[in-house]
Amino acid sequence: MALERREYPDIAPTGPTYSRAVKAGNMLFISGCTARGTDSQGRSMMEQLDVTLGRLVAVAAAEGAGPGNFAKLTCFVTSIKDYQMDSAKQQSLFASHFQEQYPANSLIEITALAEPGLDVEIEAIVILD
């Protein structure tokens, strides 16, 4: 099976050493997305979460997939306590972006992300039709 490396510079730009996504058959593996380079970088976790989820859904849409095609997320946050502080907002954002078609999801606390002001990073697996 051939791997197709994908870039979406207008949706979620990448660094020089990785691809935004890799397509393998009907599966799309999306690299960790953040709010990097947006006005939300350095702001609240919920603002960053909103931008990050929006970027993921936009990448999937660029491949013809919708919110219901997401099979798995892995969420990395710099503080689970801060992430869960506004659980109503968090739940609202997931409901809005995934139209209540929730993927499997893991939440992992880490010490830091690649740049200051980034507190949420999410990678995804999408099943394409």
Residues of the chain with pLDDT under 70: none
pLDDT the model gives residue 73: 98
Give the number of other CB atoms < 10 A from CB of residue 122: 22
Check residue 66 and give its pLDDT: 97
For the chain, where are the alpha helices, taking DSSP H only? 45-62, 80-85, 87-98
Cβ(104)–Cβ(17) under 8 Å? no
pLDDT in the model for residue 128:
98
Predicted TM-score (pTM) of this structure: 0.96
CA dist 55 and 35 (Å) reads 8
Looking at residue 84, its pLDDT comes to: 93
CATH number of the domain that residue 92 is part of: 3.30.1330.40
d(C-alpha 78, C-alpha 84), whole Å: 12
The answer to whether 30 touches 124, Cβ cutoff 8 Å, is yes
Which pLDDT belongs to residue 71?
98
CA-nearest of 122, 124, 119, 8 to 63 is 8
pLDDT for the residue numbered 1: 82
Range of the domain at 69: 3-127
Sheet containing strand 21-24, edge to edge, reads 3-6, 21-24, 27-33, 120-127, 70-77, 104-109
pLDDT digits (tens, 9 = 90+) for 112-126: 999 999 999 999 999
Indicate the number of domains in the chain.
Answer: 1
First to last CA, the chain: 17
Q: Which of 31, 32, 51, 55 is nearest to 42 (CA)?
A: 51
